[in-house]
Amino acid sequence: PFWLWLSPEDTQTVLIHLIWCCFNFFLVLAACLVAFKQPQLRQTHRLQRKLTAVIYSSNQSWTGETVDVSESGAQILLDEWPNIADEIKLELIGDYGAQVLLNGKVVRATATNQLQAKLLINFINLTRSQRDDLSLVIYSDVKEWSSQKRTEVGNWRESVGFIMAASKRIFREFKPANQKMAVAVRKRVDAVAQLYPDGWESGSIRAKLTEIGTQDLRLELDSSQILHLETMLQTNPIMGLLISQDTNDSQPQYLLAQFEIIEELAIDHLPRLKNSGHNAIVNPVAMEFSFPESLKLKQFDKIQLLLKTLN
């Protein structure tokens, strides 16, 4: 500004230089923001497409719509909360009827404000043919891209505010998704289980199987039946499980599972054991078990059979 006072005749020249300096400053600032921008961790880019999605699990199906989709996964909205295991079959249908059937793993499930279920699904074990069909559904079988006809007009003030706030976002550390609102995705069942904490030859503990997935399961039982609980909490032993729909089942399934955690249940949550002769569990607790990775292949068929047959 002092140049305007010392040389008033150079006012126009000074103003032009000032404008160019401001312009160059914002260019350098934008380049710095791009340089400091944290890399994208996703394997593939998400595409906001609303595709019809059909989830298949245990001879049942649920129809929903994708929020976004990529070559490695999708987010799906359902109007009801599905009773599914963590691994499902997923069919995606394009705008003109192109279809692809995929194997999926439900990573996370949350409830929206509209009481819908939002499932985050990763595609697993894709074959070359499935990858080709998926690319066809995502990129080719399109009636109209959202950019061609926008239902909502963008607000330029929000866009400017988003750009101005970039300096805060680039230095923000990556944080995992909020798991407090997420729910473990497992099939809810009402079955019986015999727990053998000290081997098949030892005595068993009666329990109620309430949830089961391909990786873990949940039992509810009376804590007064559990001996050496402190040792279990320290060693996380592998225990034997005998699982069936009811006590009269002639073909129960034998599994090995590793004890993980135990938690107390509310007093008003007193699950009954099927055909046990007891009115209710006195000291109800829930125990979480996981299937050992070393036994995954050996127990895979048994777990899949239980997921299909248990109700």
Ordered per-residue pLDDT tens for the chain, 311 residues: 566 677 777 778 878 888 999 999 999 988 887 777 767 667 788 888 999 999 999 889 999 999 999 999 999 999 999 999 999 999 999 999 999 999 999 998 998 888 899 999 999 999 999 999 999 999 998 887 655 566 666 677 887 787 777 667 666 766 656 555 556 789 999 999 999 887 766 788 899 999 999 999 999 998 888 878 888 889 999 999 999 999 888 889 999 999 999 998 876 555 555 554 445 557 889 999 999 999 989 999 999 999 999 98
Report if residue 171 sits inside a domain.
no
> In this structure, are 191 and 304 located in the same domain?
yes
> In this structure, are 90 and 112 located in the same domain?
yes
Report if residue 203 sits inside a domain.
yes
pTM confidence score: 0.73
The count of structural domains within the chain is 3
Token readout for 268 is: 């008003």
Q: How far is CA 193 from the centre of its chain?
A: 27
Report if residue 162 sits inside a domain.
no
Report if residue 13 sits inside a domain.
yes
Report if residue 165 sits inside a domain.
no
> In this structure, are 22 and 55 located in the same domain?
no
> In this structure, are 193 and 304 located in the same domain?
yes
> In this structure, are 25 and 69 located in the same domain?
no
Under 8 Å between Cβ of 239 and 260: no
> In this structure, are 102 and 31 located in the same domain?
no
Report if residue 60 sits inside a domain.
yes
Token readout for 59 is: 């001879």
Report if residue 166 sits inside a domain.
no
> In this structure, are 92 and 123 located in the same domain?
yes
Residue 293's domain comprises 187-309
Task: Give the whole-angstrom CA distance, residue 310 versus residue 296.
Answer: 20
